[in-house]
Structure 1
C-alpha cells in the first residue's frame, strides 16, 4: 500500500504513514447529500450540498473536505487534492444537520390568481 501511495505523489513520510493507516483501518466510507428546489439570485434553481466521512476504526471519523461533495462526473482526476480532517461524533451529527436547508433557502411557490 505504501508503494502505491508513493506512486500517487505522497512523498512526505508522515503523510504517507497516516494515509496508509487510515486506508488499512477503514471500516466504511459514506456520503450524504441533500437537494431541494431553491433559488439563485432570485431565479428558481436546484440547490445541493453534501459531505463525505471515512470511518477508520480506532483512528476515528475523518471528514473528507476535498474534493468536496457533491462530486460531479469528470470533476475529480489524479491531480485533485485530497484533504481529510479528523472529527468527533458530535461534528458528524453537525454535518448531518447542516445539510438541512433553512426556510429562506427554499423557492417560494408561485402565487395563483
Structure 2
C-alpha cells in the first residue's frame, strides 16, 4: 500500500431528499458533480441513485490531493451555491460525508 501522501482523495456523500423534491435534488447534484469533473485535479465524479427507488443518493469524487478537493468545493460554493441557494433545503436530514485515502494502484481508470 502506498503512503497516505501518495494516495488519492475519495470523497463520499450519502444524502436523501425531502418528500417531493428528489428530481430537483438529483439535477442539482448532477450539476455539482459535472462542475467537479471540470475542475483541475478532479479525477472522476459521479452521482448514483438508490436502486430501490428511495430518494437516496450517493455522490463520489476522486481528487489528486487535498488542494484539488478544496479547489473543487470552493468552485461549487462560489459558482453554484451562490446562484441557486445550495442543496441544504432539499435534504431530508444531514448527509453522511467522508474523505478516504485511495491507493491509485487499486483504481483502473482505463483509457477514457
Q: TM-score range by the shorter chain?
A: under 0.3
Larger Rg: 1
Q: Which has the higher contact order (CA 8 A, sep 6+)?
A: 2
Scaled by the length of structure 2, the TM-score of the pair is 0.27
**Bigger proportion of residues as strand:** 1
